[in-house]
Amino acid sequence: MKRTWWKEAVVYQVYWRSFFDSNGDGYGDLEGLIQKLDYIHDLGVDVIWLNPCYESPDKDNGYDISDYYRIMDKAGDMETFDRLLHEVHQRGMKLIMDLVVNHTSDQHPWFIESRSSKDNPKRDWYIWRDKPNNWRSYFTPSAWEYDEKTGQYYFHSFAVEQPDLNWENKEVREEIYKMMRFWLDKGIDGFRLDAIALLAKPDGFPDAENPYDIRYLTNNPGVHEYLQEMHDKVLKHYDIFTVGEVAFVSPEEGLKYVEEDRNELHTLFHFEVCDEMPTWDPIRFKQIQKRWYEGLWGKGWNSQFLNNHDHTRQVTRYGNDKQFRVESAKLLATLVHTLPGTPYIYQGEEIGMTGVKFDSIDDYNDIAMKNKYAEEVAKGRDPKEVLESLQLLSRDNSRTPMQWDDSEHAGFTTGTPWLKVNPNYKEINVKQALAAPNSVYYYYKKLIQLRKQNPVMVYGTFRDLSENEPYIYAYTRELDGVRWLIVLNHCDSDNVYTLPEELSSASRRLLLGNYIDVKEEGTTLHMRPHEARIYALQ
């Protein structure tokens, strides 16, 4: 297997508007990120993934771009961005930018021209039709919006304010490639490519048999040709890292995006866990991991994550954020960092931040949640029940401001935060984590250091030893005669794991555990609630 810097990297995602506010306007900003770079660097990560900071009306928190060449005022300006990039590189880290090329804002000059008349030269830069089909978008009941001025409908896979670009138009593609080169020539180290599986649309836009199953939006014929062209014209000319957001894919389809000799992307986010496993399902999770390992290993590269800006914080969704918050936060970290693939840390995860339950829909900002709430209430459903049904998976669970200390607004801002701070910030914050030697933060630091020092954690083969176990997850990683055993008790109670006969005679050395006092035992391991252990076997 080819060894590369990006396979060995640990990525830290910065959702900048919730990270640190340097000027008191209630929004995090790039200057705030610069001021906190040492915190990220000290954790030991290699790459920062920066969510979109381009000029935007901010209808979808920056994923509706109105100017690819400018920084939005909330984030700062281009001078600040250039300084950020310099400071990241000065610390030996890399920076990848979140890039949206499936759609733009409806305020982008391209779309303003496109909708001005049917014969405008940019009319075909977007997708217009006389009649809509029955498709839904990710955020709204219809993927089509009527434009009174020209009497046609335009297509949007997400919000009404996010019209899809027409990738069949060569002029569009060339303009996108030009823009990508602009940022790469600045010296950024790659892209996280948003909604990249949506670029190609089905011929003719036929009605869907079941419009609620929106898989018709993704992975359509032509998408791989677009990505190969992007690679040929842009990506291959730079030493960078690319990761694509690719929903609704099997390992077989996913491999097409990342197989090393296909020349498309380096790695991908699939969402069989985060989108399709709303609560912890151990058997299903193990099956997902095994299928993706068998589908990609030796041919392409995977990503490991359990939360991000679109998905509820992992300790709330997949762990126990109350009785065993610290233990389960460490267990989930062990899981993500020892399974095959590149591990991602979402800001605040490293101190065990949790999800929230606001009392009113008015306290939420998530456009997808608010649209769904309005749609369901309009059907006559009880508003309280609708709110409760949407809370667990609301994207705002992970978007509440970073909790730096126990001062007002968690030290995030001196103003009024754009989104309410989680009320538990007095107990869960960076200041507290840095003062406690056994905190979640220092456990992450140890995990990252292990990965840097031990190639087996990156390139080792994977074998599940516990496929049908409901609570214990045990697996090995092996490389060049080095073999590790990882044992996790993903449960609120004690459990016992008996080593398989093939490992019973091996001597064990504990490399890392999330409980302080681990007693060496024979072939039977007595695991406490949410206990995680990493052993070297000899």
pLDDT, tens digit, 9 for 90 and up, residues 283-306? 999 999 999 999 999 999 999 999
* Cβ contacts of 415 within 8 Å, gap of 6 or more: 21, 24, 25, 26
Mean pLDDT score, 179-205: 98
Which residue carries 């733009």 as its tokens?
104
pLDDT, tens digit, 9 for 90 and up, residues 166-179? 999 999 999 999 99
pLDDT of residue 520: 74
Please tell me if the domain spanning 5-103+168-447 has the same topology as the one spanning 109-155: no
How do strand 532-537 and strand 472-479 relate by DSSP bridges? unpaired
* Cβ contacts of 535 within 8 Å, gap of 6 or more: 484, 485, 486, 487, 508, 509, 510, 511
- Whole-Å CA distances, 59 to 37, 116, 232, 358, 368: 28, 22, 33, 21, 11
Q: Are 88 and 37 in contact (CB under 8 A)?
A: yes
- What topology is assigned to 5-103+168-447 in CATH? TIM Barrel (3.20.20)
pLDDT of residue 104: 98
Cα–Cα distance, 315 to 461 (Å, whole number): 27
Task: Name the pLDDT band for 51 (thresholds 50, 70, 90).
Answer: very high
- 58 is annotated as an active-site residue: no
Could you state, in order of their start, the residue ranges of all structural domains in the chain? 5-103+168-447, 109-155, 460-537
Instruction: Render the burial of 232-244: b for 16+ CB within 10 Å, e for the rest.
Output: ebbbeebebbbbb
Cα–Cα distance, 409 to 423 (Å, whole number): 9
For residue 191, which of 177, 206, 202, 201 has the smallest C-alpha distance? 177
pLDDT higher than threshold 80 for residue 106: yes
In the set 245, 321, 349, 350, the catalytic residue is 245
pLDDT of residue 224: 98
Cα–Cα distance, 38 to 88 (Å, whole number): 9
- Whole-Å CA distances, 13 to 52, 358, 495: 11, 24, 34
If you average pLDDT over every residue of the chain, what do you get?
97
pTM: 0.96
pLDDT, tens digit, 9 for 90 and up, residues 503-515? 988 899 999 999 9
- What topology is assigned to 460-537 in CATH? Immunoglobulin-like (2.60.40)
Cα–Cα distance, 130 to 119 (Å, whole number): 15
- What topology is assigned to 109-155 in CATH? Oligo-1,6-glucosidase; domain 2 (3.90.400)
pLDDT, tens digit, 9 for 90 and up, residues 143-168? 999 999 999 999 999 999 999 999 99
- Number of Cβ within 10 Å of residue 187's Cβ equals 14
Secondary structure (H, E, C), 246-278:
CCCCCHHHHHHHHCCCCCCCCEEECCCCCCCCC
- 194 is annotated as an active-site residue: yes
In the set 98, 194, 272, 321, the catalytic residue is 194
pLDDT, tens digit, 9 for 90 and up, residues 334-385? 999 999 999 999 999 999 999 999 999 999 999 899 999 999 999 999 999 9
Residue 192 has what DSSP assignment? E
pLDDT of residue 241: 97
pLDDT higher than threshold 80 for residue 521: no
Cα–Cα distance, 462 to 287 (Å, whole number): 13
pLDDT of residue 505: 87
Residue 57, SS3? coil
* Residues constituting the chain: 538
